[in-house]
Structure 1
């Protein structure tokens, strides 16, 4: 599978994982201390070929993603669920541990974030759905993130991502129905 866009990853191990999964070029941020030189490379890559950001599903990965969005708001984003980013042995969490099929699926589902999207789903909707507060909120948010292909977030960030990815009320309701049905089974 050939990817036209340049994929932004955190390091060399991520680049190797990407190259095992697809034929693509990468830009490495070298961790969360992203330099302005790297930001300029990402801007140029976006202008020339487009960019897909694929960072680790953890706090530093989210920090890198937010920094890139500040400077290159029109790039696409791909997400890997934490359960696919855990090594078979040892410790850590990262893209480099994901199987090629998971990376391929994440890249296929990459979406652009919209900075100023309409609010189709309110924070009250999230509270009513049991996605903010309550004993099952975290598990439900994890599953909603998987189903909608927007990654895992805390409650506050979920609202922001739903708006940025312009998830419609209908898409949200369908995903929520699936999550609630799974809880029943």
Structure 2
């Protein structure tokens, strides 16, 4: 029976190596100090996050390269933090926005994607206590969702520059319940 699990595990590792995608997940429960950092990048964008928590804390983080050889790549990071003591966090995502609908405009044009701008997103803060849930995806478009419930200070910002420009900045302090959703490039 154990041999069957070993064979299945080796087959899954072989498939993951051929697909070229990467995945990493971490879950931590602690009543001391925890520091967690992650980063990923490719030719279209990057994602970065850092978390430090003191006292009772639960942290769950996944980072995944969702790309394949045919469709390009997207980097996705999901972060969930709950803490009764101070929680410091920061997250950043960037993307080179591309338009891939050239083929729909003219059959004779190359469909390699036209660069239309760049987009970035940042979240940073200190919670005295509470929880943070954040998800960021970067690639040929960028999107994210952030939810914060607790007490402390939080800064969020996102922007798109290029043919079109859009900027957003928020600062919240005190007791809060915040939800921030954005998407630049691609279709909603």
TM-score class, shorter = under 0.3
What is the TM-score normalised by the length of structure 2?
A: 0.23
Structure richer in helix, relative to its length: 1
Greater strand content = 2
